[in-house]
Amino acid sequence: MDYNIVVVGASGQVGSQVVKELEARTFPVKQLLAFASGDSIAESVEFLGEEIAVQTLDNSAFAGADIVFFCTPAQVTREYLPLASQAGAFCIDLSRASLEESAIPCIVPELSSTALLKSLNTVANPPAAVIQAALVLTPLQVEFGLKQVSLTVLQSASALGRKGVEALRKQSGALLNGRPLSSDTVVADAPAQLALNLAPVDAGGDFYSSAEEIRTTLLRVLADADVEVQVEVIQAPVFYANGLSLACQLEAEMDETRLSRVLQEQQGLKFLSSAQFDTCGTSVAPDYDAVPACVTQIGQNRRINLWSIIDNLRKGSALNAVQIAELYVAG
């Protein structure tokens, strides 16, 4: 069976990546329609060698749609997602709108099931850090139990969209050439200067989640595990790929062999030795459908530290959403 697909926000960074993932993974598409808000219209997006015109989003966009991807700011999703749901479409929300609704499940496909998705009409795509952390923490929770977890998210400029990437490029060029930063390099949603700088992110915006949102969403994905979770988000001077440092205290004793085995067996996780790892995401590209992770330290009192990298545009966003759609149609 082939499906009528609608991508809302198709001209944006995430929406255009959803279109690419649908093609790359040969998703069974009968018809693809692309929409964007009036101030974000691009002429077209390419799909299977054809140019698909990007149309202006309106109330008639969802007629006949089977699956709708919302890759828009939260306020646009809040307005149009109910219309898509009423039209009978299965809605996958890549914005942050559905994270506000505790009744809407946040889905990491490797940790979910076809049966669950078939009973739903709307699901949320979790923040990239939640996808990362859940794939690492779930096997640890099942095998050893989790007592405490501290996450430090190193957020790349691409979390702010194309304007974040462009601002980091311009700021880096200016500073490396001894020039002051001009007003056209400032990003309103950024917590501070992006280039050559690290800065804590106190609150989220339209483009990224706050530390508290990451914490609460992670607990939802972990099915309310009885674990203390603390999150810190740091804006890092990196174009793409988010880093994640995890410091965990386990409930049960473990040894290194057993620890390696449970992480190696987790679907969607690529367990590596620290010698194979980098900090800029360059090792992510060849196997971007799996999240790389490694153990950096095994300490006393059942404490371990881990490090992970995620391609935040692919597995951290667009690919995860397409994998949700694949799981939905698998039954």
* CATH code of the domain covering residue 57: 3.40.50.720
The pLDDT value recorded for residue 226 is 86
Q: How far out from the chain centre does Cα 51 lie? A: 27
The pLDDT value recorded for residue 182 is 85
- Residue of 42, 35, 38 whose CA lies nearest to 6: 35
The pLDDT value recorded for residue 264 is 95
For the segment 272-294, the average pLDDT, to the nearest whole number, is: 67
Task: Please tell me whether residues 167 and 88 are part of one structural domain.
Answer: no
Which range marks the domain in which residue 321 is found? 3-126+317-330
What distance in Å separates the CA atoms of residue 132 and residue 269, rounded to the nearest whole number? Answer: 9
Task: Please tell me whether residues 87 and 227 are part of one structural domain.
Answer: no
Number of domain units in the chain: 2
* Dihedral over alpha carbons 243, 247, 252, 256 (to 10 degrees): 60
The pLDDT value recorded for residue 288 is 60
Task: Please tell me whether residues 144 and 267 are part of one structural domain.
Answer: yes
Task: Mean pLDDT check: name the lowest of 88-97, 111-120, 143-152, 273-282.
Answer: 273-282
Task: Please tell me whether residues 133 and 281 are part of one structural domain.
Answer: yes
The pLDDT value recorded for residue 208 is 77
What distance in Å separates the CA atoms of residue 93 and residue 71, rounded to the nearest whole number? Answer: 7
- Residue 134 CB neighbours (<10 A): 23
Contacts of 215 (CB under 8 A, 6+ apart): 151, 229, 230, 231
Task: Please tell me whether residues 105 and 60 are part of one structural domain.
Answer: yes
The pLDDT value recorded for residue 275 is 56
Task: Mean pLDDT check: name the lowest of 134-138, 268-272, 280-284.
Answer: 280-284
For the segment 231-242, the average pLDDT, to the nearest whole number, is: 92
Task: Please tell me whether residues 133 and 266 are part of one structural domain.
Answer: yes
Task: Please tell me whether residues 167 and 266 are part of one structural domain.
Answer: yes
- Angle ∠(155,159,160) on CA atoms, nearest 5: 120
| DSSP per residue, 248-303 | EEESS---HHHHHHHHHTSTTEEE--GGG--SSSTTTGGGTTSEEEEEEEE-STTE
The pLDDT value recorded for residue 223 is 85
The pLDDT value recorded for residue 286 is 47
Going by the DSSP 8-state scheme, the letter that residue 25 receives in this structure is T
pTM of the model: 0.92
The per-residue pLDDT of the chain, averaged, comes to: 90
